[in-house]
Structure 1
Amino acid sequence: MHSCARYLIFFQYLGTKYSGVVKAPPHQLQRKGVQDHLEDAIRKLRPVNPVTLYVSSRTDTGVHAFSNSAHFDLQRSNDKAPFTEDTLVNALNFHLRTEQIRLTRAHRVPHNFHARFCADSRTYVYRVALGISHRSLLPLTDHNLCWSLRNTELDVGAMREAAALLVGTHDFSSFRAVSPDMLFKNPVRTMDLADVQPGSSFSHTHFLRNIPIWELTFRSRSFLYKQVRRMTGALVAVGKAQLSVPQLRDLLEAQDSLAYPQGLTAPAQGLFLTRVDYRDADLQVSQQMSEEQPRTTGNSED
């Protein structure tokens, strides 16, 4: 018998140079997906089995992640024990060193675990920078990592009032973009959190200019296609007095993706997937599987 283990990995990436997190279509040669690079790195560990990565949360071109997750099976020859979590992280990061992708941690999980379907919640943060007349005025640490607006102020009170309308269980059809599979997906989602709070530039202690940053945070078990970017765009429109709070309520109650105003969707570069959470019970492996782990750890891939 081969020694096979299923791993859950958490990984971060800057999405600017990638076609999204999932595999790029075979005909697309210019940009690969984050999944392509992760699978290439796993293959360099010389597994016995074909490598397939199952990503928990799909992000589009230009969207970033501080913590996305995925699972995969890794089968080694029968004379080698499964990798320890630390060894796996170190080995994959070694092979990813030329990419803007890094593993942060790994867990060995039960063989029936699924990174997508077992996820208990997902949290997204959208960063908005104010008073930016041209993107070149942003510090390099925030370039392509926020939505820069010319506005020097937003009506944050109105934005918070509008965000409160999104919390709870609703049909979010008005906030999903048209996609080929939209007819097969239930538009009802439960929003556990929709909030607007002050943030900061990634270089705020060293940059000479004070740049107001606002962060819009959304947490739910799952989201519809482009739902977060559409909700963000609508809330920013409320902050800019382009939409009123009652108009946003009407948009939510319309339950129609075509009711969403054209040109309002927030751009991809300000969006970060920051957390994917699981229940501890779903991550627990059996005692027998735990005993298969070697007792020593190291940096060697073998």
Structure 2
Amino acid sequence: MASRARYLVFFQYVGTLFSGVMAIKRPEQRFGVQNLLEKAAERLRSITPVKFHISSRTDAGVHALENSAHLDVQRLTGRPPFSPDILTSALNRHLEHPDIRVVRSFRVPDDFHARFEATSRTYLYRVVTGCSLDTLSVFDQNLCWALRTEHLDVAAMQEAARHLQGTHNFQAFRSVSENNWQNPVKTLLRVSVVPGPASPFTHPQLRRKLQFWDIEFESKSFLYKQGLLQVRRMTASLVAVGLGLLTPSQVKEKLESQDPQSGPALLVAPARGLFLKSVHYAGLDWSPGKDWYNRPSVSRGCSPGDVPEGPGL
């Protein structure tokens, strides 16, 4: 009988060159991260095609420090399941793009679902003050939002962030043209605005002038099909408060209006500064040799010697 195993894999990518994380049907010119992951998985020789069930969507230009997906691999009769480490190595060996990397893998139960089992997701937005985009290091230009101002009213931004935190109807942060009326009530577990680490790529003459800021949003879920837009609009609102263009009370009023057309128009922060930072799961044990929910591996999978060499993997 063929051996079928389900895995949870965590992967990261620089989203600049991709149409987003989701696969597109005709990737002649643009393609999604999923297209390349599944192409690499063809080399696993699974009896049934390997499909990555992505936990969290990201749009064109948005990055991921850590996204996740579950997948099934069905090996030929008599061949044991791949160990998580072997699966990680095999996928990375055959990925055809340097901007994608599988970080780690776990064996999970056959009914596990990467999207629905996630307890929360954290998005990180990087802002830098004190320079324009064209004076920023080329290594950072696609990874943050550069503001010419040298000062942000961070205390006011943190006050506005407290208005967003908690359970609210976030309809005011959706697209005006979007007619999808899925439940807009979401719970933001955490909204924070804190100093970020300095970039190692900053020129020494600019280092004292630049200040990086990290804006983070954690929630189990965001607006249906507009979660990234919601995050980018909330970010733009907080930055507008920091620049003195909005007050914290205006952000609260906008939120309570439940109307994207009420009050001051909301800008959208650029995609390039946004990262899916992490996807969280309850009970996940990161220890070597462990699988899901702190359980020792029932099946440790094949050893490196069981992995086919050459074009087959």
Work out whether the TM-score is over 0.5.
yes
What is the rounded CA distance, in whole Å, between the counterparts of 2:57 and 2:103 in structure 1? 18
Query: Are the aligned partners of 1:232 and 1:266 in contact in 2 as well (CA < 8 Å)?
Result: yes
Q: How far has the Cα of 1:204 moved from its partner?
A: 5.6
Q: CA deviation at 1:166?
A: 0.8
Aligned-partner residue type, residue 7 of structure 1: Y
Q: 1-side partners of 2:307 and 2:248: how far apart?
A: 57
Relative to 1, partners in 2 of residues 1:63 and 1:176: Cα closer, same or farther, differing over 3 Å?
same
CA shift in 2, pair 1:157/1:300, >3 Å: same
Superposition CA RMSD, Å = 2.4
Aligned to 1:232: 235
How many angstroms does 1:205 deviate by?
7.5
Q: Indicate yes or no: 2:242 matched with 1:252.
A: no
2:301 pairs with 1:294: yes
3-state secondary structure, aligned to 1:219: strand
Q: For residues 302 and 43 of structure 2, what CA distance do their matches in structure 1 show?
A: 24
Aligned counterpart, 2:143: 145
Corresponding position of 1:68: 67
* Counterpart-to-counterpart distance in 2, 1:54 and 1:181: 26
Question: What's the CA shift for 1:139?
Answer: 1.5
TM-score by length of 1: 0.91
Q: How does 1:148-227 map to 2 (within 5 A)?
A: 148-177=146-175, 182-183=180-181, 185-203=182-200, 207-210=204-207, 211-224=210-223, 225=226, 226-227=229-230
d(CA) in 2 for partners of 1:259 and 1:7? 45
CA deviations over 1:90-134 (Å, ceiling 9, x no partner): 11111115330001100010011000000001011100011223x
- Asked whether the equivalents of residues 139 and 203 of structure 1 are also in contact (C-alpha less than 8 Å), the reply is no
Is the CA contact (8 Å cut-off) linking 1:15 and 1:62 kept in structure 2? yes
Unaligned stretches of 5+ in structure 2?
286-290
Residues 233 and 266 in structure 2, CA contact (< 8 A), matched pair in contact too = no
Deviations, residues 191-229 of structure 1 (Å, cap 9, x unaligned): 111010001343168744222111101111111211110
Partner of 1:10: 10
Residues 257-276 of structure 1 aligned to structure 2 (within 5 Å): 257-259=260-262, 261-262=264-265, 264-276=267-279
Q: What letter is aligned with 2:5?
A: A
Aligned to 1:122, the other structure's residue is in SS state: strand
Matched residues, number = 298
Contact kept, 8 Å, 1:141 with 1:203, in 2: the verdict is no
Q: Specify the SS of the correspondent of 1:78.
A: coil
Deviation of the 1:245 alpha carbon:
1.1
Question: Which amino acid is 1:19 matched to?
Answer: S
Partner SS, residue 65 of structure 1: strand
Counterpart AA for 1:43: E
Corresponding residue for residue 88 of structure 1: 87
Give the Å deviation of 1:292.
Answer: 3.5
* CA distance in structure 2 between the partners assigned to 1:118 and 1:31 by the alignment: 30
* Structure 1: stretches of 5+ with no match in the other structure: none
Supply the AA of the counterpart residue of 2:292: Q
Q: CA deviation at 1:137?
A: 1.3
Which amino acid in the other structure matches residue 63 of structure 1? V
Identity %: 48
Shift in alpha-carbon separation, 1:20–1:205, aligned structure 2, 3 A = closer
After superposing the two structures, state which structure 1 stretch, 34-43 or 252-261, moved more: 252-261
Native 8 Å contact 1:174 1:258 kept in 2: yes
Alignment match, 2:288: none
Residue in 2 that maps onto 1:37:
36
User: Residue type of the partner of 2:168?
Assistant: H
CA contact (8 A) 1:139 1:207 kept: no
Q: What's the TM-score, normalizing by structure 2?
A: 0.88
**Amino acid of the residue matched to residue 284 of structure 1?**
W
Asked if the contact 2:40/2:96 (under 8 Å) is kept, the reply is no
Change in Cα spacing, 1:37 to 1:196, as seen in structure 2 (3 Å) is: same
